[in-house]
Amino acid sequence: MSTLRFNVIDEALKRKAVEVSAPADRASDYFGMKVFNEEKMRKYLPKKSYEALMETMQHGKSLSREIADSVASGMKQWAIEMGADHYTHWFQPLTGGTAEKHDAFVEYDGKGGMIEEFSGKLLIQQEPDASSFPSGGIRNTFEARGYSAWDATSPAFIVDTTLCIPTIFIAYTGEALDYKVPLLRSLQAVNKAAVEVCRYFDASVSKVNSYLGWEQEYFLVDEGLYAARPDMVLTGRTLLGHESAKNQQLEDHYFGTIPTRVMAFMKDLEYECWKLGIPVKTRHNEVAPNQFELAPIYEETNLANDHNLLVMLIMKKVARRHCFRVILHEKPFKGINGSGKHNNWSLGTDTGVNLLSPGKTPKDNLQFVAFLVNIMMAVYKRNGLLKASIASATNAHRLGANEAPPAIISIFLGRQISAVLDKLAASTKDEAIVFDEKSGLKMGGIAHIPELLIDNTDRNRTSPFAFTGNRFEFRAVGSSDNCGGAMTILNTAVADQLVEFKAEVDALMAKGETKEQAIFSVVKEYIKASAPIRFDGNGYTEEWKAEAAQRGLDCETSVPEIVGQYIAPSNTDMFVRMGVLSSKELHARAEVKWETYTKKIQIEARVLGDLVMNHILPVASRYQSQLLDKVFKVKALFGEAQYQKIAAQDLALIEKMACHMEKLQTLTEQMVDARKVANKIENERQKAIIYHNTVAEAFDAIRYHADKLEEVVDNEMWPLPKYRELLFVR
């Protein structure tokens, strides 16, 4: 009898919603209370330090040691008043997630006692013992030094009793070992390139920011049920499990009423987020049972990304208080939707213009079209690389499966924008470049794009990169990803494209064309050149796969192969040109991605093997033996002549089970053998490819037979919580 499974179901059913109340009536009263934000800087820092720090935050000026000491002292005072007793440099290693090593504020005071100490030196830079973080070969173990250094553009905050200082993480030799360094570099690159292009339209623009609004999807599973699933505990997903008779087919979960226990969790999570200055705004049920979403108001990309990483961390903590586990895996359950993290992205100027929003005047519209078309070119040229930015062993279950996103990157523009671009591309030069002081610029006879934009809700859920009225939505990012990976590639690709655009426009102007004429010519040329990336149809169809291949888009589906994009010469050149990643750093990143891929599949393979051998087969045998026992008794009672007829069903079932059990055992042994072969390969790329082609390849067939057994084995004996319990008991 499977008592554990029934016990955890019982416990789960007894749990009540844990109500937690907000620190104050209104969110605005406690928003940011745990953040060393501008308000606290003004309060806790001398004027001179405050001003210097603002300069650093806004214009990237470096901080002197003296100012750093003063900032550290103010920060420490605030943190101690808030009850903090430790501090940590909080960084984003290539393993994913975040890392932290806590140190207490205490130091000897030299008189036999202790004082609370936190110097500018400790604020600015630290040397965590970093030898265990992946570096892709950048750091030799004998030179395992890595430094974390304060990113003053993202404010410090307090979690529990620890002051967390957002930092970058670099090797002793200066190479990036994290997600933040390249992200910051890419933001600089896109700022520089975009400002130059903006100045064609408005000389007063001096900064362009990249904005990110992420939509975090997640599952909640009762902690008891979760604990009884070794696959969920060790791999974050279910490797086995027959589909529940009811799952998402009735579409009754999406935007449905939020269950009480979940609502209590969500409120608690929101309180925590608001205290940490994370502007979360939207919460709702997602498509799959027990799947939910949380989205904030968008922010500058670096801060938004820090906030997303923090949210993933806080979610896990808060879930524990409510006896839930948060599942951030991209595909925790077979047969229902997985989780992603749509990255809503845009560029905006310090003059308050969203460059992806059609403007009021024809001049604004030309600027809008110029940026739109450059982004299309960038995504077109780097479609394979963008896919690499979101490719992982876990996200691979969504890529290419029939749910967003398809494994081919394409852009959805919507009917109206498409029509505008097509008209522009087809317009004759004379039509297109009339510049009339009164009515402004006539874009091929369509001067007023805003009036055309009635239908922003024109949406295509199958598109991995969709224009949604005033931003692009990169939907292929995985739910557990650090958005920094995708955002670095996108911003770098756009920066590189804008630099090229400017060079082309300048060259035409040098030949005597007016600025408008020149911009128009290049824009028209880009609309035509980037046409293959535009796709408004259903991205899930087989026809699209065939057509995309014909259009020359990247259709690779094997994650280890996709990762190779990082070191493809044209991509390496771009990263180097934009100063975002060096060739050495790129090779290291690809190595880490291959290594991580292999390890994840290796762990899954081991867990699957153990589950089959220790959980499924023994229980199936026991049930089969009960049936056999019965057949023997039937035979004893009814005799040779009749027993076969009387026990016909049992005999058929015994045989059916024997067949699945035999297959299950053989396939599992073959997978273990394949793993042993793959483990001997030294080259990380090759190893990952073989893991993909032989080990991961075997999972589905193994699962098939295990799930078939689940269908027939006595429910009372089945040891693992079933899908219908994991997804519906709460």
- Site residues (CB under 6 A) for ligand ADP? 211, 213, 215, 282, 295-298, 344-346, 354, 470-471
From the list ligand ADP, Mg ion, none, which binds 213 (C-beta under 5 to 8 Å, kind-based)? Answer: ligand ADP
**Cα–Cα distance between 568 and 553 in angstroms, integer?**
15
Q: How far is the CB of 211 from ligand ADP (least distance, A)?
A: 4
From the list Mg ion, ligand ADP, none, which binds 380 (C-beta under 5 to 8 Å, kind-based)? Answer: none
Query: In terms of CB distance, is 347 or 548 closer to ligand ADP?
Result: 347
Q: How far is the CB of 482 from ligand ADP (least distance, A)?
A: 17
From the list ligand ADP, Mg ion, none, which binds 470 (C-beta under 5 to 8 Å, kind-based)? Answer: ligand ADP
Q: How far is the CB of 285 from ligand ADP (least distance, A)?
A: 13
| Residue 652, amino acid | A
Query: Looking at beta carbons, which residue is closest to ligand ADP?
Result: 213
| Residue 261, amino acid | R
Query: In terms of CB distance, is 466 or 616 closer to ligand ADP?
Result: 466
From the list ligand ADP, Mg ion, none, which binds 535 (C-beta under 5 to 8 Å, kind-based)? Answer: none
Query: In terms of CB distance, is 236 or 469 closer to ligand ADP?
Result: 469
**Cα–Cα distance between 232 and 69 in angstroms, integer?**
46
From the list ligand ADP, Mg ion, none, which binds 295 (C-beta under 5 to 8 Å, kind-based)? Answer: ligand ADP
Torsion of CA 570, 572, 577, 578, to 10 degrees: 110
Query: In terms of CB distance, is 288 or 696 closer to Mg ion?
Result: 288
Query: In terms of CB distance, is 166 or 340 closer to Mg ion?
Result: 340
From the list ligand ADP, Mg ion, none, which binds 471 (C-beta under 5 to 8 Å, kind-based)? Answer: ligand ADP
Query: In terms of CB distance, is 139 or 342 closer to Mg ion?
Result: 342
Query: In terms of CB distance, is 154 or 344 closer to ligand ADP?
Result: 344
Phi, psi values for residue 133, rounded to 5°: -85, 145
The residue behind tokens 């570099």 is 185
**Cα–Cα distance between 445 and 448 in angstroms, integer?**
9
Q: Tokens for 449?
A: 């794009």
Torsion of CA 62, 64, 70, 72, to 10 degrees: 60
| Residue 228, amino acid | A
Residue 245, burial from CB neighbour count under 10 angstroms (0-12, 13-18, 19+): exposed
How far is residue 205 from each of residues 348, 356, 379, measured CA to CA in Å? 10, 16, 25
Query: In terms of CB distance, is 209 or 248 closer to ligand ADP?
Result: 209
Query: Looking at beta carbons, which residue is closest to Mg ion?
Result: 342
Residue 168, burial from CB neighbour count under 10 angstroms (0-12, 13-18, 19+): buried
Largest CA distance in the chain: 105
Q: How far is the CB of 348 from ligand ADP (least distance, A)?
A: 7
Q: How far is the CB of 298 from ligand ADP (least distance, A)?
A: 3
**Cα–Cα distance between 472 and 483 in angstroms, integer?**
15
From the list Mg ion, ligand ADP, none, which binds 354 (C-beta under 5 to 8 Å, kind-based)? Answer: ligand ADP
Query: In terms of CB distance, is 322 or 342 closer to Mg ion?
Result: 342
Q: How far is the CB of 483 from ligand ADP (least distance, A)?
A: 12
Query: In terms of CB distance, is 297 or 658 closer to ligand ADP?
Result: 297
Q: How far is the CB of 311 from ligand ADP (least distance, A)?
A: 12
CB 248 within 8 A of CB 289: yes
Query: 10 Å Cβ neighbour count for 451?
Result: 9
CB 7 within 8 A of CB 719: no
Q: How far is the CB of 292 from Mg ion (least distance, A)?
A: 14
Q: How far is the CB of 455 from ligand ADP (least distance, A)?
A: 14
Q: Tokens for 414?
A: 């919507």
Write out the residues near Mg ion by the rule CB under 5 A: 342
Q: Please compute Rg for the chain using Cα positions.
A: 29
How far is residue 473 from each of residues 405, 410, 494, 548, 705, measured CA to CA in Å? 12, 12, 15, 20, 39
The residue behind tokens 């991961």 is 696
Query: In terms of CB distance, is 253 or 342 closer to Mg ion?
Result: 342
From the list ligand ADP, Mg ion, none, which binds 298 (C-beta under 5 to 8 Å, kind-based)? Answer: ligand ADP
Query: In terms of CB distance, is 342 or 692 closer to Mg ion?
Result: 342
| Residue 284, amino acid | H
How far is residue 41 from each of residues 36, 307, 730, measured CA to CA in Å? 6, 20, 44
Q: Tokens for 90?
A: 């909080």
Q: How far is the CB of 338 from ligand ADP (least distance, A)?
A: 16
From the list ligand ADP, Mg ion, none, which binds 282 (C-beta under 5 to 8 Å, kind-based)? Answer: ligand ADP
**Cα–Cα distance between 414 and 332 in angstroms, integer?**
32
Query: In terms of CB distance, is 275 or 342 closer to ligand ADP?
Result: 342
Q: How far is the CB of 288 from Mg ion (least distance, A)?
A: 16
**Cα–Cα distance between 87 and 164 in angstroms, integer?**
6
Q: How far is the CB of 345 from ligand ADP (least distance, A)?
A: 6
Q: How far is the CB of 342 from Mg ion (least distance, A)?
A: 4
From the list Mg ion, ligand ADP, none, which binds 297 (C-beta under 5 to 8 Å, kind-based)? Answer: ligand ADP
From the list ligand ADP, Mg ion, none, which binds 346 (C-beta under 5 to 8 Å, kind-based)? Answer: ligand ADP
From the list ligand ADP, Mg ion, none, which binds 485 (C-beta under 5 to 8 Å, kind-based)? Answer: none
Four-residue CA torsion sign, 476, 480, 482, 485: negative
How far is residue 304 from each of residues 32, 295, 564, measured CA to CA in Å? 14, 11, 28
In the three-class reduction of DSSP (H, G, I as helix; E, B as strand; rest coil), residue 471 is classed as coil
CB 333 within 8 A of CB 248: no
In the three-class reduction of DSSP (H, G, I as helix; E, B as strand; rest coil), residue 337 is classed as coil
From the list ligand ADP, Mg ion, none, which binds 361 (C-beta under 5 to 8 Å, kind-based)? Answer: none
Query: In terms of CB distance, is 411 or 518 closer to ligand ADP?
Result: 411
DSSP code of 565? G
**Buried-exposed string 349-368: b where 16+ CB fall within 10 A, e elsewhere:** beeebbbbbbbeebbbbbbb
The residue behind tokens 């030949």 is 511
From the list Mg ion, ligand ADP, none, which binds 244 (C-beta under 5 to 8 Å, kind-based)? Answer: none
**Buried-exposed string 270-285: b where 16+ CB fall within 10 A, e elsewhere:** bbbbbbbbbbbeebeb
Q: How far is the CB of 696 from ligand ADP (least distance, A)?
A: 31
Q: How far is the CB of 473 from Mg ion (least distance, A)?
A: 5
Query: In terms of CB distance, is 242 or 342 closer to Mg ion?
Result: 342
Q: Tokens for 554?
A: 């990247």
